[in-house]
Amino acid sequence: MTTAASTSNSFFDSLESAPPDSILGLNESFKNDPNPDKINLTVGVYQDESGVTPIFECIKLAEKQLVDTESSKSYLPINGSPEFGLAVQKLLFGTDDQGTDHEIVRSKRAVTAQSPGGTGALRIAGDFLQKKFPNSRVWLSAPTWANHPAIFAAAGLETKNYSYLNSDKTGLDFDAMKASLDETRPGDVLLLHGCCHNPTGVDLSADQWQELAAIIRQRQLLPLIDCAYQGFNAGIEEDAVGISTLCNAGLEVMICSSFSKNLGLYGERVGAMTLVADSEKSAKAALSHIKSCIRVNYSNPPKHGAALATAVLSDDGLRDVWFKELAGVRARIKQVRSQFVQEMNRRCESDFSFIENQNGMFSFSGLTPLQVDQLRNEYSIYIVGVGRINVAGINSNNIERLCDCIAKVMA
Ligand code: LMR
C-alpha cells in the first residue's frame, strides 16, 4: 500500500522552509540558546530591572473587576466594543482645557475598529486602502519596523521609502525626508510613527510635525500614523503631539494604535484602527468598508483584553494607577539609556551620547550587521539585524557584560 506522501498527490513535500521572522525568529533562537549568560535585546517587549515583563497592577485590578461584572462571552460586533472604541478615541485625541472631549470625538467624524494588536490594525488599514484606493502607494521611513513592508505587500499595496536618518544614523535628516516626499503622488499614503520611532527611537519635533502637516495637505497625501508606544516617551498626551498636530490642521488621518506596550497586554492582542474623516457621514461609509475587510479576515475581534483596556481607560482610579506605572516605565528606560551611554563611553572612543536623545524602547546602536552576528554567535547577545537594541532588556546584571562585548566587536 502506498502512503499519501509517496504519491504524486503530495502537496507539501516540495516546500522549502520560509526564512525566520527578523524579530520574532531571533526571539525563538534566544529561547533555544543554552548559554546562561545570554542577553535578549530583540523583540519590543518591556522588561523590568529583574528581566521580567510584568503584568501592570491596573490590569490585575481590572481583571478582578471583570470576573464579577462580565456576563457573557458572546461575539463582539465586527468592529469590536463601542465602549473600547470611544475610550481609544479619547486617549488619542485628548480633551480641551475644560476637560471636554475633542471636537473629533464630539462630531463623531472618527470611527474605530478594535483589532488584534497593532499589527492587526495595520493589516486592516492595508486591506481597506487596497480595496478602496488600490493605486495608492504606502511611503515608509527608511528604516522602518521590519514588518511594515510585508504587511502592506500582503494587502496588495505598493510600498516606497522616504529618507529619515542622517548620514551617521544618530538623528533625523528632516531636509532629506522632505526632499523624498517630493516624489509622492496625490492620493499616496504616508506612514508616520506617532512617537518612539521603531527601530531608531528618532522622532519628529513638534515644529517638524507642523511643517509636515502643510506638506501633507499640499501634496494631497493620506497620513497613516502607527502609534504603538503612546506613553513610552514623555506621557500619553505629550506622545500624541503628531496626531493632534495633523488632526488640528484639519487633515483626514488613519491611526493604528496598540495596547501591547503601554498596558503590557502583548499576548491579549489589543489594538485599534481609527479613521478620522471630514464628516460623520464619510466616517460611517468608511467604517462599512472596514467592517467588510474584517469580516472576511477574522470576523470579529477578541474580547477579553479590550475589556481590560476599556476598564482601565474609563475608571479614574485605575487610570491613576496606570499613569503612575507608565511613569515608572519611562523613568527606567531613561535611566538605562544614561547608564548604557556612560558604560560605553568608558570603553570606546566613539561617543554614544546620541542614545540619550532617542525615545522609547528602541535605539539604533550603530552596530553593523556583521557586529550584530558576532555578538549573537560568540557572546549569545541577541540584537535585531539592523542594530536595533531594546534598551528595556538591559539591567544591572547584564550591562557590564553587554558593554564589554559591544566594545570588543567594535574594536
Ligand atoms: C517589535 O518591533 O519588536 C515589536 O513591535 C514586536 C513585533 O511584533 O515585531
Given this model, what pLDDT does residue 6 score? 53
The tens digit of pLDDT for each residue in 323-347 reads: 999 999 999 999 999 999 999 999 9
Cβ-based neighbours of 250, under 8 Å, separated by 6 or more? 217
- Do the domain assignments include residue 267? yes
> In the chain, how many domains are there?
2
Pocket test for ligand 1, best of 23, 24, 45, 384 (most atoms within 8 A of CB): 23
Q: Are residues 150 and 46 part of one domain?
A: no
pLDDT at 243 exceeding the cut of 90 = yes
Please give the distance, rounded to the nearest whole angstrom, from the Cα atom of residue 364 to the centre of ligand 1: 15
CA-based end-to-end distance of the chain? 63
pLDDT at 5 exceeding the cut of 60 = no
pLDDT at 96 exceeding the cut of 80 = no
Q: Are residues 255 and 205 part of one domain?
A: yes
| CATH code at position 37 | 3.90.1150.10
CA dist 120 to 41, 107, 272, 273, Å? Answer: 24, 26, 8, 8
Given this model, what pLDDT does residue 350 score? 85
361 Cβ below 6 A of ligand 1? no
The residue from 314, 331, 361 where one domain ends is: 314
pLDDT at 2 exceeding the cut of 60 = no
The rounded distance, in Å, linking the Cα atoms of 368 and 387 is 6
81 Cβ below 6 A of ligand 1? no
- Do the domain assignments include residue 4? no
Closest CA to 154 of 132, 176, 123, 198: 123
- Do the domain assignments include residue 115? yes
| CATH code at position 306 | 3.40.640.10
Q: Cβ distance 186 to 218 under 8 Å?
A: no
Cβ-based neighbours of 382, under 8 Å, separated by 6 or more? 26, 27, 29, 30, 33, 38, 39, 40, 41, 42, 375, 376
- Do the domain assignments include residue 12? no
Please give the distance, rounded to the nearest whole angstrom, from the Cα atom of residue 20 to the centre of ligand 1: 14
Q: Are residues 304 and 211 part of one domain?
A: yes
78 Cβ below 6 A of ligand 1? no
Q: In this structure, what are the phi and psi dihedrals at residue 113, rounded to the nearest 5 degrees?
A: -110, 120
- Do the domain assignments include residue 19? no
Q: Are residues 239 and 346 part of one domain?
A: no
120 Cβ below 6 A of ligand 1? no
Range of the domain at 86: 75-314
The rounded distance, in Å, linking the Cα atoms of 160 and 187 is 14
For the ranges 178-182, 293-297, 303-307, 354-358, the lowest mean pLDDT is seen at: 354-358
Confidence of residue 8 (pLDDT cuts 50, 70, 90): confident
Q: Are residues 326 and 310 part of one domain?
A: no
- Do the domain assignments include residue 384? yes
Please give the distance, rounded to the nearest whole angstrom, from the Cα atom of residue 44 to the centre of ligand 1: 5
The tens digit of pLDDT for each residue in 127-175 reads: 999 999 999 999 999 999 999 999 999 999 999 999 999 998 999 999 9
Give the HSE-up count for residue 313: Cα atoms under 13 Å, Cβ half-sphere. Answer: 21
Tell me if residue 209 is catalytic: no
Q: Are residues 350 and 308 part of one domain?
A: no
Confidence of residue 1 (pLDDT cuts 50, 70, 90): very low
Q: Are residues 329 and 299 part of one domain?
A: no
- The residue with cell 559591544 is 406
The rounded distance, in Å, linking the Cα atoms of 385 and 199 is 11
- Do the domain assignments include residue 2? no
The rounded distance, in Å, linking the Cα atoms of 91 and 86 is 9
Q: How many residues comprise the chain?
A: 411
Cβ-based neighbours of 101, under 8 Å, separated by 6 or more? 90, 93, 95
Atom 4 of ligand 1, residue of closest alpha carbon: 44
Q: Are residues 96 and 28 part of one domain?
A: no
Q: Are residues 404 and 260 part of one domain?
A: no
Tell me if residue 261 is catalytic: yes
Q: Are residues 300 and 327 part of one domain?
A: no
Closest CA to 224 of 155, 297, 320: 155
Q: Are residues 203 and 258 part of one domain?
A: yes
For the ranges 153-157, 219-223, 366-370, the lowest mean pLDDT is seen at: 366-370
Q: Cβ distance 88 to 257 under 8 Å?
A: yes
* pTM of the model as a whole: 0.95
Q: Give SS3 for 387.
A: coil
198 Cβ below 6 A of ligand 1? yes
The tens digit of pLDDT for each residue in 257-275 reads: 999 999 999 999 999 999 9
The residue from 293, 314, 335 where one domain ends is: 314
Q: Are residues 211 and 145 part of one domain?
A: yes
The residue from 258, 287, 314 where one domain ends is: 314
Tell me if residue 284 is catalytic: no
- Do the domain assignments include residue 61? no
Given this model, what pLDDT does residue 91 score? 97
pLDDT at 4 exceeding the cut of 80 = no
